[in-house]
Structure 1
Amino acid sequence: MTHKVRTSKPKDIFAGGSNKGAIIPEQLLHYTIALLSVALALGVTMLLRPYLSATPSALFFAAVMVSAWYGGFAPGLLATILSTLVVNYLFLQPLYPQYITHRDILVRLAVFMITAGLIIWLNESRRTAQKIAEANLKSLRQSEARFGRLVESNIIGIIMADLNGSIIEANDAFLQMVNYTREDLRSGRIRWGEITPPQYLEVSERAIQELRISGSCKPFEQEYIRKDGSLIPTLLGFVKQEETIIGFVLDLSERQAALRDRNQVEAALRESEARFRHLADTAPVLVWMSGTDKLCYYFNKPWLEFTGRTLEQEMGNGWAENIHEDDFHDSLDRYINAFDARQDFKMEYRFRRNDSEYRWVLDTGVPRFTPSGEFLGYIGSCVDIHDRKVAEAALQQLNEMLEQRIQERTLQLEVANKELESFSYSVSHDLRAPLRHIAGFIELLQKRHNSTSTLDEISQRYLRIIAETAKQAGILIDELLTFSRMGRTEMRYINLNMEHLVQEIKRDLISQTPGRTINWHIESVPFVQGDPSMLRLVLCNLIGNAVKYTRTRNPAEITIGSTDNENEVVFFIEDNGVGFNMQYVHKLFGVFQRLHSDQQFEGTGVGLANVQRIIHRHNGQVWAEAVVDSGATFYFSLPKLSKKEGNERT
């Protein structure tokens, strides 16, 4: 059937008939139009020669375009050659034709011929696209005609419904089966749920679910409730077309009646098979069937139209020749394994279409059995999923590209951070020497002053300010050196007793704050895995801040404790100090960011930045909450590590 259709297509191209004699006059007309177009361009150019002296070839482009548009490649080429000769001998060098090899003339002729050739190529592409569009339109009309004949058939019942189960259209064959009228259909009295017996609702729902996933379902038997309450047995199959469900219904009542006699049974089976083949040939999916020997013996019309091959070529294992070589072995193994296990299967592979393009298809197969359980082979269907696969591949490529960009940006950021840390370390280190000189000379001046008493009170105050400023600058440089080292120091993870560490820091701070009344509330805190020197610096900064910012409180209240969950331990340091405005909480952990002046509370603005860097290197988080004049609470979290992770990080 496929080859007969193809051999008849060339005849349809020519409206005048199929004999060769009808083609020749039409070809002569094409060449005649080409000659007339060039002649017309020559005549108009001669008339307008004073105005076209700079571009004498302009109208000949129109002649080439008309020839190629109407006649195609050969007439367009003829017009190009004639136009080139006319332009050269009549307009470029009309008096001295022997100078045809002059460079300027050759360049102008070459530009003309290239442009004319481009015009011919564009027109030929347009004609080819037009032929393809006409062929596709013809195929679509044939498909619509086949479907129309199927709908008008009085053998197969057809139902169309939405996804909610409301029947929106049915042909006369189905209405006769269930004994309803078209007025009943228009009034909405026919619904699948109302004409389906309860014992078949589950089977019908499974078929609908299969339909929503794969676009079709395997045929199954069920009964319908007729208008008079009687039941009619049917063979039912669904396919989905966008948001519409199309059901194909075969009346099996005659087959059941014929079961009384063996000959009638065999005749009914043959008729049912013929009807099924008719149904399969009109379904918008590729259907195949195989026997118990794994070899395929049936393919429906859409399959043959898709591959452009005959049934004889596809029989047995012939259909597998269309599978892409990269997918062949995997697909064959899946088919054989499922066949041997008598199991359903789904697989995706690239399948060659009749235009030699490989398209991704979803192949679904299910085993067939007789009522007594005898295995009959497989039935399956293929659905074109190429557009979906192409979209998935494009999305994967985009994700890979984004991942690569993230890695590149991360590497650039790491390099920049290392350079910044190195620069900070170098600057801080180089500043220490001159500060030591300043501090040394101030000390010498103070000693000399004490021995000679030659400086007045203002000069003495200046010396004290310089000494304190130099000392503060030294502290700041030490803080910066510590901050820069935090990014380069190698982490050393051990099991750390945080409670002992808190007690040690508390003793140090008590010795540094004589005369103050501080009430310490230290709860039991757990062991953690981390770097001991770094976490000691974190606690020193946070507990030290609590002591510093409760200086105006008597007594000061400081609470240290923790909470934990499945993944992390959260520590907190709470005080009743001066607190801060939460509007500026984002500045707390930045370098040189302070919420109080030096006159109120001394500091460098580097300590909390160090805390954040250390906690982030431990893969934790740090944050704070406060109320002005009502105290503050600082939190930091540390992830719980397994013993294996702790050993790997040590």
Structure 2
Amino acid sequence: MNSSETKMPDKESIILMASATLALVVLMADLSLPLGVAGGVPYVAVILVALRSTGPRQAIGFAVVCSIFTMVGFYWSPGGGVLWVVLLNRFLALFVIWVTAILGLLLKRNQLKQLQSEIRLEIISDSAPLMIWQVNEDGEWEFLSKDWLEYFSLESDGRGYNNLLEQIHPDERDLFSESYQGAFNLGRSFQVECRLRGNDDNYRWMLIHGVPIPHIGKEFAGYIGTCLDFSRRKQMETELEKARKMYYHHDKMVSVGTLAAGIVHEIGNPISVISGAINHILGQQGAGVGSQEPDDRIQEQLQTILKQTDRILAITRDVAEFSTVEMDQTEFYSVNEIINRSCRLMEYDSKTKGIDFSQQLSGSLPALEGKKEHMTQVLLNLLSNAVDACNEVEGNHQITITTALLDCAILITVADNGCGIEPMILDNVSDPFFTTKPVGKGTGLGLSICHTLVENHGGTINIDSNLDTGTSVSVSLPIP
């Protein structure tokens, strides 16, 4: 700013000059008129102007000045009028001056307190970790906090705000409407959990709570309430519920495994007896024991029975080994051996009929340290998913399992030529309880469990799929 420019007076200076000028004008008028005509009542205008200032000192100061000017006018004004009327006039002038000053200061103090309360409310509403709102008895919005305005991208006065029901998720819209309208009609508090759509078109879980506003002379003057975002807590509750279901599922599978181990043991004993008896009969016929010559047809049938009993025994051994309760300690195991055993177990499933299992296993893989039953479960889940995908389409079905040594890690790949996975759901297939299979055909836990078990081994799983051409799942396990 140049030194030649004149500094503009502030508001306080203008009020001070206006009050002083008005006081002098009233004094000059009082001194120029007869005593019985003039009076001190016009000094009230000076007090009203002085009350426009921010502090109380100006109003008190000008009340004192106006009182002095009133007495000066009494002594120096031209004579005239009845004395008691003149005295009463001056007394009333002094009374009105001070009543105006005192009442004005009290009113100003109340206005200041109200302003401070509004400022405190605004600060609290802007700094509180929730949104604050207020509606009147007609249901019209009176106040919306800063967070509320930002959440819905509204102007500071709330212009352009649509009906709140339009922002609530359709699944909770009727519940909110019934709770709010029912409480509004009765003038009672309410609380509703619902999802609100924000300015990014995403829904977040909100706890909306409202309490009636007390008002003198009215039973109900509207609501003041809060809106708390508890999406994080809702997500944690959902994850906790999923974990609980996974725990129950795991506990159920442990019980099934224990039961299966017992059944396998009970089946294995009589099958072993049958197998031993057949071997004994074959041995006797081969040695020519008995009066009759060996019958080739009987020999063939006995060989068939023996082959099937051996197959049953192999199944029982594999199931018994897989259902054995795991220990906490780890061990070194061969990846190729686990793949062979997993493929052998899958071949017992009737769903694998017509599916060609091809193994392309590297012969130079080192042993891995970990829980081999975990990796068996991973491979069985991946193979089971591949079988289901192949059965969804017609044609020649093939599942290829390959192993390779790559960058200090063993890479296991399970590839199929099945139906593939839609791109829009590919990112969700590993979520717990997510499944595209019909009810009763899958739990949605297979890939989720695979991810957990592989991560416990320090490895990773990658899924590459093309719709109608097949899926390839790669498991990378670090070498210790």
- TM class by shorter-chain length? 0.3 to 0.5
Higher normalized contact order (CA 8 Å, seq sep 6+, divided by chain length): 2
Q: TM-score, normalised by structure 2?
A: 0.37
TM-score relative to the length of structure 1: 0.29
